């Protein structure tokens, strides 16, 4: 039996979908459904039980028999807002709650896989290398990244990377992210913006080495991401791993691919970046995938154009969610 926290969220529900396609449904989902519509991500999925986060936290403390025999905990639940300013909330939700789960896993000899974040790399001055020996040198640019960083550091201090797997996701996009609001991928937000106005707004660049729209990101399609997660889980691989493509592309490239998928001419408008983002903005990300390739397998990534086309045509245009009863 697997426990998936954040199982109604973007990556969590996509991973449950992938498990379902493999015939696995002995799953307990944990989440905080709140008032948004991420509950809709659960509708097509098959699982044994669901618990709200606060109830699950009590179960962890009591070492409840319902969860103590889990084969693995896939901890993907977190506040992922890079603009969240309530530091106390982030510490409790992303750090303390993660420690609660980790202590439960340790006490029950349970394998744990959890979501760290590429946001821990900050500006990228130290590179994007998934080396647990050097994570203390990283300086995140926002409180979200820091809340992930201190849990990584706590795991290292307690020598847990020989028992757990930490995954640093880059810019993952794809179906089931509608509920994320401003934290949706550009593809998702661009589809709505282009549908409404016929054009797309991108931030101007404020560094001379990057022209407007030429800022670069390591984009990863969700269908590739869940395959990578499952390989690590199935083989109970331990340590920190980047989950990215290792192939950064520009915002302009992404924008043109979106317009092409929508069968529209590209019209891009460059706008001023809000002041509060200027000192927190990452101009370039590229996950170093050497460690993953060596310890896991060499992933054949979905070409970005193909991934965007699949997402736009089969999900954004149709409002479909990931459904294990439909073809991959």
The total of other beta-carbon atoms located within 10 Å of residue 191's CB is: 22
Candidates 68, 180, 199, 260; catalytic one: 180
Count each helix (H run) and each strand (E run) in the chain, helices first: 12, 13
Length of the chain in residues, anyone?
Answer: 328
Exposed / middle / buried, residue 109 (Cβ in 10 Å: 0-12, 13-18, 19+): exposed
Distance from C-alpha of 313 to C-alpha of 158, rounded to nearest angstrom: 46
The total of other beta-carbon atoms located within 10 Å of residue 252's CB is: 18
List beta partners, residue 241.
167
Residue 127 gets the label, from left (phi > 0), alpha (psi -120 to 50) or beta, of left
Distance from C-alpha of 126 to C-alpha of 82, rounded to nearest angstrom: 20
List beta partners, residue 30.
5, 51
Q: Return the axis-axis angle of helices 53-62 and 97-107, rounded to nearest 10°.
A: 40
Candidates 144, 146, 221, 301; catalytic one: 144
How does DSSP assign 270-289, residue by residue? EEPPPHHHHTT--SB-----
Q: Is 144 a catalytic residue?
A: yes
C-alpha 21 chain-centroid distance: 20
CB 134 within 8 A of CB 112: no
Q: Is 315 a catalytic residue?
A: no
CA distance from start to end of the chain: 24
Distance from C-alpha of 328 to C-alpha of 322, rounded to nearest angstrom: 9
> What is the set of active-site residues?
144, 180
């Amino acid at each position: 039996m697997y426990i998936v926290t954040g199982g109604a969220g973007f990556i969590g529900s996509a991973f449950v979908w992938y498990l379902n396609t493999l015939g696995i449904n002995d799953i307990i989902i944990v989440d905080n459904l709140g008032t948004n519509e991420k509950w809709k991500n659960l509708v097509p999925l098959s699982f044994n039980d669901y618990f709200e986060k606060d109830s699950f936290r009590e179960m962890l403390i009591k070492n409840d028999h319902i969860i103590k025999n889990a084969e693995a905990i896939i901890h993907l639940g977190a506040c992922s807002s890079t603009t969240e300013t309530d530091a106390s909330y982030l510490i409790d939700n992303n750090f303390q709650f993660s420690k609660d789960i980790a202590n439960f896993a340790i006490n029950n000899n349970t394998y744990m896989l959890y979501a760290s974040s590429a946001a821990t790399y900050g500006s990228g001055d130290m590179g994007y290398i998934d080396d647990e020996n050097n994570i203390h040198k990283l300086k995140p640019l926002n409180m979200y990244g820091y809340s992930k960083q201190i849990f990584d550091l706590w795991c290292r201090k307690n020598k847990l990377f020989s028992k757990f797997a930490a995954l640093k996701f880059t810019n993952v996009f794809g179906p089931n992210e509608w509920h994320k609001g401003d934290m949706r991928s550009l593809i998702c937000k661009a589809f709505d913006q282009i549908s409404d106005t016929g054009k797309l707004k991108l931030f101007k660049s404020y560094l001379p080495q990057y022209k407007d729209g030429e800022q670069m990101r390591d984009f990863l399609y969700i269908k590739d991401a869940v395959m990578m997660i499952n390989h690590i889980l199935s083989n109970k691989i331990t340590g920190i791993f980047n989950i990215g493509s290792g192939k950064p592309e520009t915002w302009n490239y992404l924008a043109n691919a979106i317009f092409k998928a929508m069968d529209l001419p590209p019209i891009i408008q460059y706008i001023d970046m809000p002041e509060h983002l200027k000192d927190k903005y990452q101009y370039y990300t590229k996950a170093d995938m050497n460690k993953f390739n060596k310890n896991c397998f060499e992933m054949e990534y979905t070409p970005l154009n193909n991934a965007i086309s699949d997402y736009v045509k089969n999900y954004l245009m149709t409002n479909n969610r990931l459904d294990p009863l439909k073809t991959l």
